[in-house]
């Protein structure tokens, strides 16, 4: 077997391996992006008030976490399938109308996390979440403080317990971590995966335009998810600042009252 033939066979296998690697990177990216989308949806829900949204996503056969590119791709596919000139479906005209309506609505509102929620509403939602969690933690810490006091402790020990309870900044740090901890980890993982995709793209022969395009689409989707994630993360910082301003005077009064009661 000549060297040129062997080289040709090697190129075929190498090309298949490239395609396989590109698909694997894309699947991993989609999983990481979906995880970020879920965290964002948990922190700052959006689009839930529109009763037609679920119907629109169903009409296009995609998930609510789909990005703008996937919405467009799904629309093109469904439009080809239901176009009255080519479809044999009895309800093709009706379905085509729904598909057009769905694409128009989802593209305009960009609800597939291409929609960055209204900042004011997002900050308010995260602030509400932070305050609710803070109250639950505070109640738990209070019950713990009372329980320790009832078991019998010396006055210095009890004063130390009270001081720990009154450290509301420490408690609020737990709130922040509980709300944004998973998002921070997912963003970090997606950043690392993005670098893997960039490194892989740089190794692809420039003549393999299809694989390059596939990896670039993957990188583009990752960048979009990162922008969404960091935007909502900035909303969270503002929400936490607002919540702290509301908590601080209340905790100061509670601290003064508590120390006064045991003096």
d(CA 131, CA 88): 56
Q: What is the pLDDT of residue 252?
A: 93
Residue 151 is given by DSSP the state T
Residues 126-139: what's their mean pLDDT?
95
d(CA 106, CA 165): 48
Confidence class of residue 60 from pLDDT cuts 50, 70 and 90? confident
Q: What is the pLDDT of residue 153?
A: 77
CB distance 243 to 134 below 8 Å: yes
Q: What is the pLDDT of residue 13?
A: 40
Residues sharing a CB contact under 8 Å with residue 259, sequence separation 6 or more, in sequence order: 162
Q: Could you write out the DSSP letters of every residue in 69-86?
A: HHHHHHHHHHHHHH-TTT
Residue 208 is given by DSSP the state -
Give the distance from CA 73 to its chain's centroid. Answer: 22
Q: What is the pLDDT of residue 108?
A: 64
pTM attached to this predicted model: 0.69
Q: pLDDT tens across 106-115, in order? A: 776 554 444 4
| pLDDT at 5 > cutoff 60 | no
Q: pLDDT tens across 160-219, in order? A: 888 999 999 999 999 999 999 999 999 999 999 999 999 999 988 888 888 899 899 899
Q: What is the pLDDT of residue 12?
A: 42
Question: How do the domains of the chain map onto residue ranges?
Answer: 3-45+117-262, 47-114
Instruction: Tell me the C-alpha to C-alpha distance, in Å, between residue 38 and each of 21, 58, 204, 210, 225.
Output: 26, 19, 32, 31, 11
| pLDDT at 146 > cutoff 60 | yes
Q: Name the strand (E) or helix (H) holding 105.
A: helix 92-109
d(CA 253, CA 139): 16
CATH topology of domain 47-114: Helix Hairpins (1.10.287)
Confidence class of residue 49 from pLDDT cuts 50, 70 and 90? very low
CB distance 75 to 99 below 8 Å: yes
Task: Out of 11-25, 60-74, 113-127, 130-144, give the one with best mean pLDDT.
Answer: 130-144
Residue 47 is given by DSSP the state S
**Which three-class secondary structure state does DSSP give residue 232?**
helix
Cβ-count burial 31-60 (b if 16+ within 10 Å, e if not): ebbbbbbebbbebbebbeeeeebeebbebb
Q: Name the strand (E) or helix (H) holding 12.
A: helix 3-43
Q: pLDDT tens across 23-42, in order? A: 899 889 988 988 888 888 78
Instruction: Tell me the C-alpha to C-alpha distance, in Å, between residue 89 and each of 17, 81, 94, 96, 135.
Output: 40, 9, 10, 11, 56
CB distance 102 to 82 below 8 Å: no
Q: Which is higher by pLDDT, 117 or 80?
A: 80
């Amino acid at each position: 077997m000549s060297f040129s033939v062997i080289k040709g066979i090697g190129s075929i296998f190498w090309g298949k391996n490239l395609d396989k690697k590109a698909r694997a990177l894309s699947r991993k990216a989609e999983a990481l992006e979906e995880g970020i989308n879920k965290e964002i949806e948990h922190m700052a829900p959006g689009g839930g008030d529109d009763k037609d949204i679920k119907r629109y996503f169903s009409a296009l056969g995609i998930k609510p976490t789909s990005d703008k590119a996937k919405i467009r791709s799904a629309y093109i596919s469904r439009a080809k399938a239901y176009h009255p000139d080519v479809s044999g479906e009895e309800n093709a005209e009706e379905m085509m109308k729904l598909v057009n309506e769905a694409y128009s609505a989802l593209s305009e509102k960009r609800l597939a996390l291409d929609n960055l929620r209204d900042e004011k509403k997002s900050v308010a939602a995260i602030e509400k979440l932070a305050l609710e969690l803070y109250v639950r933690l505070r109640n738990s810490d209070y019950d713990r403080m009372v329980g320790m006091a009832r078991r019998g402790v010396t006055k210095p020990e009890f004063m130390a317990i009270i001081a720990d309870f009154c450290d509301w900044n420490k408690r609020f740090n737990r709130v922040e971590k509980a709300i944004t901890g998973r998002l921070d980890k997912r963003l970090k993982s997606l950043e690392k995966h993005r670098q893997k995709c960039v490194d892989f793209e740089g190794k692809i022969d420039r003549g393999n335009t299809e694989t390059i395009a596939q990896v670039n689409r993957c990188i583009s989707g990752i960048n979009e998810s990162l922008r969404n994630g960091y935007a909502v993360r900035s909303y969270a910082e503002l929400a936490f600042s607002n919540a702290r301003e509301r908590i601080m005077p209340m905790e100061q009064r509670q601290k003064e009252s508590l120390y006064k009661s045991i003096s």
